[in-house]
Amino acid sequence: MHTRTLGNTGAGISEIGLGTWQLGSADWGTVDPADAQAILTRSVELGVNFIDTADVYGMGHSERAIGDFLKTTSAELHVATKLGRRHDEPHGWPQNFTLETMRAHTEDSLRHLGIDSLFLTQLHCIPTDELRRGEVFDHLRTLQSEGLIQHWGVSVETVEEGLLCLEQPGLASLQIIFNIFRQKLVDELLPVAQAKGVGLIARVPLASGLLAGKFNTATSFPETDHRHYNAEGQCFNIGETFAGVGLANGAALAEAVRDTFPDPGDHTMAQQALRWGLDHDAITTVIPGASRLDQAESNAAVSEMPELPVDTHTQLRALYDDRIHEKIVGAY
């Protein structure tokens, strides 16, 4: 597993990380606790040392699963969580952005994880106006000076939000939706972040599974799965579900992506799609989520894959310009 330095943190993090929204057992159906531990254990055995979670993934369930795992390992791991979307009383949305609330939510994350200080916390897709007002960044600097967090970053939905955050001194990382269906960022955000030395964490790298090439228009998802209940963006930003292209368009476009990839040899389509993200050197880590052990194993192996040919990148960019861009719904 190769590592890349995450922004100003000085930490060498694995270029394939583990996304653990799935381990919240809420928005992707249920993941058995034993399977969750197996996914974490095997990922770390394979060199993954960066784990992304959030306080709202199963309302602490994902963080607690990671906390249980941390008790079993002596590996040096970098766990990143997020805050800002809790809706429980008395500190719930939209009062999430006071220093008092952010401190209380950070302390809860520390308790769930069983640690004293967070490696990285990230604002979790909070309203653009809050980013514009900017007090949240002062609150993060305060939590940093208090030692509750070591570094801070922001998970954003749009280029506009990313550029706003990049104006903030001390920003360690931006977490972005970045995959073959969302290439606008290549021109509009990656170069700016790279020039400022800010780490980039690429989420939804498989477009919620579409870029594994395994879905078609007849595929259905359980009611508890966001690919069922957020397919039209009813609950949160549509970009988080199928990268905003929808299941029907996405399945057809995934076929076109598959046709563009070179002969995969021993590699799967999902691995090639993840490799596309890693081939951008502005990206620090790509964080696929896994609901099964074999997915986590296959994803970790991408670090050792050769880069995709330059021609393939060129063709995928043309595919994006000609057919994909127009299909994306929602601000991006």
Ligand X SMILES: NC(=O)c1ccc[n+]([C@@H]2O[C@H](COP(=O)([O-])OP(=O)(O)OC[C@H]3O[C@@H](n4cnc5c(N)ncnc54)[C@H](OP(=O)(O)O)[C@@H]3O)[C@@H](O)[C@H]2O)c1
Q: Which residues bind ligand X (CB under 6 A)?
A: 19-22, 28, 52, 82, 124-125, 155, 175, 203-209, 212, 214, 240, 270, 287-291, 295, 298-299
Work out how close the CB of 51 gets to ligand X at its nearest, in angstroms, rounded to a whole number: 8
Nearer Cβ to ligand X (182/313): 182
Residue 32 vs 90, nearer CB to ligand X:
32
Q: Please tell me the distance from the alpha carbon of residue 158 to that of residue 10, in angstroms, as a whole number.
A: 26
CB atoms within 10 A of CB 257: 25
**Bond into 191 cis (ω within 30):** no
Minimum distance from residue 84 beta carbon to ligand X (Å)? 10
Q: Measured from the CB atom, is 80 or 310 closer to ligand X?
A: 80
Nearest distance in Å: CB 208, ligand X: 5
- Least gap, CB of 212 to ligand X (angstroms): 3
Is residue 13 helix, strand or coil? strand
Phi/psi of residue 331, each to 5°?
A: -60, 140
Residue with tokens 């609901």: 291
Q: Locate all alpha helices (DSSP H) within the chain, ordered by sequence.
A: 33-45, 61-70, 99-113, 128-133, 135-145, 159-165, 184-188, 190-196, 226-229, 247-260, 269-278, 293-300, 310-319
CB of 58 to ligand X, least distance (A): 12
**Residue 233 CB, nearest approach to ligand X (Å):** 13
The Cα–Cα gap between 290 and 39 comes to 8
Please identify, using beta-carbon distances, which residue of 270 and 319 lies nearer to ligand X. 270
CA-based Rg of the chain, rounded to a whole angstrom?
18
Residue recorded with tokens 């200080």: 117
Of 242 and 311, CB closest to ligand X? 242
Q: Which is nearer to ligand X, 150 or 237 (CB)?
A: 237
Angle at which helices 293-300 and 269-278 pack, to 10 degrees? 50
